[in-house]
Each structure stands twice: as structure tokens, then as C-alpha cells.
Chains A and B, each alone.
Chain A
Amino acid sequence: MTAAAIPAPETKVGVKDALVNLYDKFGEATWVFATYVVDNGLAVTADRLMDTPGTYTSAPDECGWGTGTPSFSATSTELDNEVALDLSTGSGARTAGTESTQTTSTTGDTYQVVATKTASGPGTVTEAGIFDNNTIGSGVAFLLGDFTGIPLLSSDSIEFTCKAQFTN
């Protein structure tokens, strides 16, 4: 004699649960993660418009990444926990990216830096940015952003495309 199969309980999803699910899926990500052209980035932009930049003589095309838990704002000046290609090392070099201008809304309105960083040690990358100096801990941040953690093993890579669009 076999036991009768017990039917699975019905799962009812109400409006409130649906909203909770929607928030968990979309709302928090939109609320939490952000990319800023930081205040220093605005200064870099203005300075480098001059025939001879007065302060910022190097382009902000050096890409850094980090494993911190940042809460960026316009006044942020650095990644929360910037690391080298070995994601457990806090000093070393950033990665020189390839600059270009792109069209997002109007012709040539976007400054773009593309850089591929290959991990030499494992970790979870949660933040990235571009700077005007190749050495971690040096130079000025132009753009900083955070995102859902991307776990990497050694020899995994991330190709970052960092954009700053200017609008009027």
C-alpha cells in the first residue's frame, strides 16, 4: 500500500508581496548603486578645457577597482577599498584605459574610458572608477561607481566601460 501523495500547499502572492518582490528586484538596486562624476571630476573637466591645463595635466583614463562597500556622493574622492589586480592587495598600479568620445544624446557628448582588468588573485569587485594617475592612492578621481559584487577568480577579467555624459 502506497501512501497518498500530499499535495503541495498553494502559494498565494498578494499585491503587497508582489510589491516587496518588485522592490527587492529593482528598487534597492536603483536606490543604492550610483555612479558619480565627482566634484574633483568637474574641476578636471574645466581645467583641461584650457589650452594648457593649470592643474590636471593627465587625462583621467586610469581605471581602478575595489572591494569595499562604498556610499558614493558628489564629494567622494576615492574608492572605498581600492585594490590591485591581486584583489587582496591594496597597493600597486591601476590600468590605463582607452579614451574616446561617444554619442549618447548629442554628437560627441560623452567621454568614455574602456579598460580591461585581469585579476591575479580572487575576490569580489564592488566598485570602480577612473583617475588621472596610474598609482593606487595617488591622483584625482574623476568618476566613481558601485555595483552588485562581481566575484572573480584568478585570471578572470572585467572589461569596464566608464562614461561621463555632458548635457545642457
Chain B
Amino acid sequence: MGFLRPGPHLGTARPKTTGSIDAKVIRADGTEKDLGQVSFGSPDALRMWGWMFTLAWRRITGRRVGT
């Protein structure tokens, strides 16, 4: 099963840091709304996901992303 193990050659096991930001809004009257995670990013993963999404989007709809 070793051949199924992700390794550096697949680009899936590189050490990395992943940043994220959670936000909770507290209005002046004391009401609160927890927005949860509002921003997240592992740059490599984000870019790869974005590319795959873009290609699939164009293939399926024929529409360019952002238009």
C-alpha cells in the first residue's frame, strides 16, 4: 500500500503554515453574531483548488470565471 501514501514527490506532504481568521461581531447594543471563519488560506491548496474549479467551470458552462 506504500504506493498510495502521499509523499513529497506528489506535493502533498510539504511542510507549510496555514493562516486563518475567525470573526465575531459585537454590536453597540450588545448583540453578537459569530461569523466563524471568514478567511482561510493555504496558498498552495487554494491555488490548486482554484485552478481545478476554474477549469471545471469553463468546461461545464463555457463561461469565463468573473464574467
B contact set with A: CB distance below 8 Å: 15-28, 35, 38-41, 43, 46, 49-50, 53-54, 57, 60-61, 63, 65
Contacts and interface: CB of A to CB of B under 8 A. Distances in A.
A147 B18 contact: no
Given A31-B53, A34-B39, A34-B40, A165 B20 contact: yes
A160 B16 CA distance: 22
B28 A155 contact: yes
Contacts of B18: 37, 164-165, 167
A147 B23 contact: yes
Interface of A: 16, 19-20, 23, 27, 30-31, 33-37, 41-42, 45, 73-74, 116, 128, 143-148, 150, 152-168
Q: A-B pairs with the 6 shortest C-beta distances?
A: A34-B41, A155-B28, A145-B39, A35-B19, A147-B38, A161-B22
Contacts of A143: 19, 21
B17 A165 contact: yes
